[in-house]
Copies of this chain bind each other. A is one copy, B any other.
Amino acid sequence: MKPCPWVLLTVFALLAGQQAHADESAAATYRQILIDAESDTRHESVEITPHSAGISADSAWSVVKKSLHGGRQQGVELITIDNGEIQIVIIPTRGLSVLEVRRGDMRLGWNSPVKEVVHPNSINLASRGGLGWLEGFNEFIVRCGLEYAGHPGRDVFIDNTGGEAEMDLSLHGRIGNIPASQVEVLVDRDPPHRIRVRGSVHERQFYGPKLQLVAEVSTIPGSTEFQITDEVINHGADAQEFEMIYHSNYGRPLLEAGATVHLPAKTVTPMNARAAEGINDYATYLAPTAGYSEQVYLIEPYANDQQETIALLQSANGEYGTSIRWSVSELPLFTLWKNTAPEVAGYVTGLEPGTNFPFNRMVERQAGRLQKIPPNESRRFSLSYALHGTASEVQDVRRAIDAIQGSRQPRLVGEPPEIK
């Protein structure tokens, strides 16, 4: 099967994103540090433009950093990349999560009942039986991990005495609630002038994980796409278990009654009995529904020969949509979270490429899905998010998905997996 030109372009873009890391000489790249704990640097507010960066530009773009005040968001910082076409809002204080992406009336993100961008110091992740993470959950993209992701609950670990001890894991781990230690803006001086916000978030402690997330969000001026290019490094002396889920969340206007989700799927498995009820309609969304409880589907995606796959969320009329492209060699599994609850409770769906499914880590370990990073090694994760503003663009993505699926039918599993 011959990949369509669009997929080839995607591969090129992902490779280009990775390539750029090697080519950041002072001459080639504008660089501005926004936060750096090591050198004790933090700028309260910053605005970078082509003019201030000394870069010629056909179109206007900017990177602006500001601090929030009031309530539980006191001291939180936001960085907004405006590439002239879309605005990407990044939260360094919350693990470099992406709060939202806007393009005119279109918005990637959702209306959480959590209205503020809550400072991690204000959250006890262990509260409500390990669900404290939900006190700050309102991002478009929040990484779940790194030592663990998924459902809360008891798991074992090796404590300071070298013996096995028990700890309570909290929902979706800690990385989304750790302030970035270093954040910088990088802009290629040469066309197409890719703009990067890159930073480091450390999940490290004595007698514990020593994981560094180097997180990057980048885009090209005038584009309706942006890329996430992350690296997770194990600085510890031993192999380190880790999990990573890109919890990407969509509400209005993309999510609506009759909206649909598409990806090339080998199997679709309900996470629990509640999800099993809706297995045949897993790809279609309801209007906000009173009394709705979440439905979660565990999906093994198919990929093309380059190991790439695509997930698409499209509007009911098919005239607009949004997609995520990624490599199943990096993120082999996909979780679909449907929460078409009433608007005030949070009308939202999550498209979640991950290294694993969101069961408690103990379950993932037993199922053989839990990975380790050897000492001094790292894992890279690259995802490309795009906005599609016309029916034609949406159909292009559908065709790319269909091309990967081919004639293979997804197997819909009727029962949730048995958990010991």
Residues of chain A having any CB pair with chain B under 8 Å: 35-38, 40-42, 66, 68-75, 112-116, 119-122, 124-129, 131, 134-135, 137-138, 157, 159-162, 165-168, 171, 178-182, 202, 204-208, 210, 235-238, 272, 274, 290-291, 293-294, 341-342, 344-346, 375
Contacts and interface: CB of A to CB of B under 8 A. Distances in A.
29 contacts: A37-B69, A38-B115, A41-B69, A42-B69, A71-B182, A72-B178, A74-B179, A112-B206, A113-B210, A115-B181, A115-B204, A116-B181, A116-B202, A121-B121, A125-B127, A127-B167, A131-B159, A134-B205, A135-B208, A160-B294, A161-B294, A162-B274, A162-B293, A162-B294, A210-B345, A235-B344, A237-B290, A237-B344, A237-B345
Contacts of A293: 161-162
A119 B116 contact: no
Given A112-B206, A127-B126, A206-B112, A72 B344 contact: no
B70 A37 contact: yes
A120 B179 CA distance: 14
A206 B113 contact: yes
Contacts of A157: 128-129
Contacts of A122: 120-121, 179
A222 B23 CA distance: 49
A121 B70 CA distance: 14
Interface centre among A160, A294, A341 (most CB of B within 10 A): A160
Contact of A166 (B114, B129, B178): B129
A128 B160 CA distance: 11
Q: How many copies of this protein are present in the complex?
A: 3
Interface centre among A42, A74, A112, A205 (most CB of B within 10 A): A205
Interface centre among A120, A159, A180 (most CB of B within 10 A): A159
B37 A68 contact: yes
Contacts of A40: 66, 68-70
A48 B293 CA distance: 49
A242 B274 CA distance: 28
B205 A114 contact: yes
A345 B210 CA distance: 8
A37 B235 CA distance: 38
A94 to B, nearest CB: 13
A128 to B, nearest CB: 5
B70 A167 contact: no
What 4 A-B pairs have minimum CB-CB distances, sorted nearest first? A162-B293, A71-B181, A37-B70, A42-B69
Contacts of A179: 70-72, 74, 122
Nearest to A275: B161
B344 A202 contact: no
Nearest to A171: B160
B124 A121 contact: no
Interface centre among A159, A237, A294 (most CB of B within 10 A): A237
Nearest to A271: B161
A406 to B, nearest CB: 34
A375 B115 CA distance: 18
Interface centre among A37, A40, A178, A293 (most CB of B within 10 A): A37
Contacts of A202: 71, 115-116
B124 A125 contact: yes
Nearest to A135: B205
A137 B206 CA distance: 7
B237 A159 contact: no
B210 A71 contact: no
A206 B346 contact: yes
A71 B237 contact: no
A132 B70 CA distance: 24
A157 B131 CA distance: 12
Nearest to A183: B70
A409 B76 CA distance: 57
